């Protein structure tokens, strides 16, 4: 079982260091650095206690100018890995994975981080009418992460996917299978116009008990 909340010594030596404060882990590495501007930098370990029935957790990753950046790992207070998240500009980005206490994958989420320094941002969106073709969409930037892409839910006992969701710019799309079924049903319900040759044949031979025609067969 892996414990990540190390025993540390807290230093506050602004006169002798570029850091306003930092921690020294048991392995001698420098953690939880705060620069002289008050911004978190480098490797950090955060500890959150259990509160109001919500389980506590610990997380470790990198801060860049007070924002989470890159890969962050989540652990239960027992030291079990419960999640691997990706961050950009302090927001979730790309695929994030979550695990049950036994280590089995239970969910994959897909996110798109928005650059908080931009008023508008551009996102590539797949063209539903032309697979593997993309179009550029300009969206107003709220400075947060939005759901964008495929979310997968796994049965931890079998490892099989039992549910998928697709999001485009935070909007849940209708399942493609359901849409295809609906379209098929609509098509089947529509009457298909008969070819002119068939209509002419039926008109010419209407009322006759027996119609002679050639079927292309040879011999007797």
The encoded tokens of residue 103 equal 């280590």
Count of domains observed in the chain: 1
Q: What Cα–Cα distance (Å) separates residue 110 from each residue in 19, 107, 170? A: 35, 10, 10
Tokens at 52, concatenated: 């109001």
CA 117 to chain centre: 23
- Please choose, from the candidates 106, 81, 99, the residue with its C-alpha nearest in 3D space to the C-alpha of residue 159: 106
Tens digits of residue pLDDT in 16-73: 468 999 999 888 889 999 999 999 999 999 999 999 989 999 999 999 999 999 999 9
Of the candidates 128, 129, 88, 136, the residue with the CA atom closest to the CA atom of residue 112? 88
Q: What is the residue range of 171's domain?
A: 9-113+142-205
Please tell me the predicted confidence (pLDDT) of residue 189. Answer: 39
Q: Tell me, yes or no, whether 2 lies in a domain.
A: no
The CATH code of the domain that includes 20 is 2.20.110.10
| pTM confidence score | 0.67
Is there a domain that residue 148 lies in?
A: yes
In a domain, 120, yes or no: no
Quick: pLDDT tens for 65-82: 999 999 999 999 999 999
Quick: pLDDT tens for 176-193: 654 444 444 444 434 444
Rounded to whole angstroms, the maximal C-alpha distance in the chain is 110
| 201 within some domain | yes
């Amino acid at each position: 079982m892996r414990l990540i909340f190390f025993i540390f010594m807290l230093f506050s030596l602004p006169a002798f260091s570029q850091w306003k404060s930092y921690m020294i882990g048991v392995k001698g590495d420098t953690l939880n650095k705060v620069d002289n501007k008050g911004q978190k930098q480098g490797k950090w370990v955060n500890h959150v206690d259990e509160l109001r029935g919500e389980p506590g957790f610990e997380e470790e990753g990198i801060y860049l100018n007070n924002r989470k950046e890159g890969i962050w790992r989540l652990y239960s207070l027992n030291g079990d890995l419960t999640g691997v998240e990706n961050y950009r500009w302090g927001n979730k980005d790309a695929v994030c994975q979550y695990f049950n206490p036994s280590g089995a994958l239970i969910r994959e989420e897909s996110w798109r981080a928005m650059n908080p320094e931009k008023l508008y941002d551009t996102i590539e969106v797949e063209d539903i009418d032309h697979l593997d073709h993309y179009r550029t969409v300009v969206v107003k930037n709220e400075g947060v992460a939005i759901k964008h892409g495929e979310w997968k839910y796994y049965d931890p006992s079998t490892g099989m996917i039992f549910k998928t969701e697709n999001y485009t710019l935070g909007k849940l799309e209708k399942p493609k299978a359901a849409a295809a079924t609906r379209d098929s049903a609509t098509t089947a319900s529509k009457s298909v116009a008969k070819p002119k040759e068939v209509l002419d044949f039926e008109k010419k031979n209407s009322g006759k008990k027996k119609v002679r025609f050639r079927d292309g067969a040879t011999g007797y």
